[in-house]
Amino acid sequence: MDAKLICTNCDEVYEQETKTFRCTKCDEPLELELVTNAKINEGNVLEQNILGRYSEFYPYLDNNVDISLGEGFTSLIKSNFLTNKIGIKGVYFKNEGENPTWSFKDRGTITGVTRAINLGFKGIGTVSTGNMAASVSAYGAKAKIDTIILVKEEIADEKLKPIAVYGSKLVKVRGDYGKLYLESIKLGYENGFYFINSDSPFRVEGYKTIAFEIFEQLNHNIPDYVIVPTSAGGDIRGIEKGFRELKACGLTEKAPKIIAVQAAGCAPIATAFKNGREKIERFSNPHTIAHAIENPYPPSGNQVLRMIKKNGGIAVDVDDDEIINAQKLLAEEGIFGQPASVTSLAALIKLKEEKYLLEDDIVVNIVTASGLKFTSALDKHDLNAITIDIDNLKDIIKKEE
Ligand SMILES: [Zn+2]
């Protein structure tokens, strides 16, 4: 069964993907047709992968390809400490740092690569300098398929090597990095390389599994809010669609409100939302410690605005100080997220102070990637060890007086 795609803006229907994955009439992103008749498969979850357990939500993917690396099924951790401290009924963290390449991207990569193989493409590719590049490289390696990763020319070695280690073809590209997004998809499609960029329809589909898992982990309940760090817009679109499908399939009665959070130093979506605009504008001079969500002109920005309006959620921004504070606070609960990942907690704190979130609310924060992905952020914290002479050990390890 082939996939029907629908324009998120003008509702134009496409029987197949367009070469750019966007609407040829209005240039806005396409989305897979809503699944309205599916249930979650039963069986031993330890023997399943996400595409197996949720296969009925993927009627257009042939999952008979052996490329799973154990993505998904990440923990949903309730923080009693933060529930009390923030004064809210339930504060949960969906720890996406537990994925095979330590970020949520793996969920969208497996659906994207599966699609590429189903369509008979000889290779895959992506444009990224961070989490998505590592993810596509890893799955390219597992699938034994030609993999091209396009990165910015000035990428630091520290970022390049964790991508290169998987053996993909890494290409530093000189010129307008923004233009690469569309050029790569189009050139790739014409030449046998399926580019799985940030918000390509089959990547977005993978992120639905975050919604399905939250639903199962809350014992078939759904939270009041889900807060999602937002850059290109792929992750938040997938999560929202997952909840929309659970509702359309009659498995839930309502969907949670979705909150998009961006870093104040690069907040094209939150700014447009604040100003009541229907379209994003390119954010000038982006600068934030949350590099992983620093996208000045997100390709799904307009769609995130439309989606939030329909869903009833909001878009907010948090500054770097709030991000650093949230990173430390979350680490003190045992979860170490990269700066972009903890914007969700920073937003939670802010929105409770502003009385948007109330005492009775249950809120899930998406922690998008591991803190080990970006250790330079540790310099922002006051982290010191004390030094003692071994003979004085008893001064440190002693009975309470
Ligand atoms: Zn359109």
Contacts of 147 (CB under 8 A, 6+ apart): 123, 124, 125, 136, 137, 140, 141, 166, 168, 169
Query: Quick one: pLDDT at residue 179?
Result: 87
Instruction: Locate the domains of the chain by residue range.
Output: 76-102+207-380, 105-199
Whether residue 1 has pLDDT greater than 70: no
Residues surrounding ion ligand 1 at CB below 5 Å = 7, 9-10, 12, 23, 25-26
Cα distance between residue 364 and residue 256, in whole Å: 10
| Cα distances (angstroms) measured from residue 308 to each of 118, 165, 236, 397 | 32, 38, 10, 53
380 alpha carbon to ligand 1 midpoint, in Å?
44
User: 11-53, pLDDT tens digit by residue?
Assistant: 999 998 888 899 999 999 999 999 999 999 999 999 999 999 9
Residue 249 DSSP code: T
**Domains 76-102+207-380 and 105-199 are alike in CATH topology:** yes
pTM of the shown model: 0.97
Class of the CATH-defined domain 105-199: alpha beta
Task: Evaluate if residue 165 carries a pLDDT over 80.
Answer: yes
pLDDT at 306 over 80: yes
- Tens of pLDDT, residue by residue over 166-194, are 999 999 999 887 789 999 999 999 999 99
Span 378-388, pLDDT tens digits: 999 999 899 99
Distance 276 CA to ligand 1 centre (A): 21
Measure the CA–CA gap between 263 and 68, rounded to whole angstroms.
Answer: 32
- Topology adopted by domain 76-102+207-380: Rossmann fold (3.40.50)
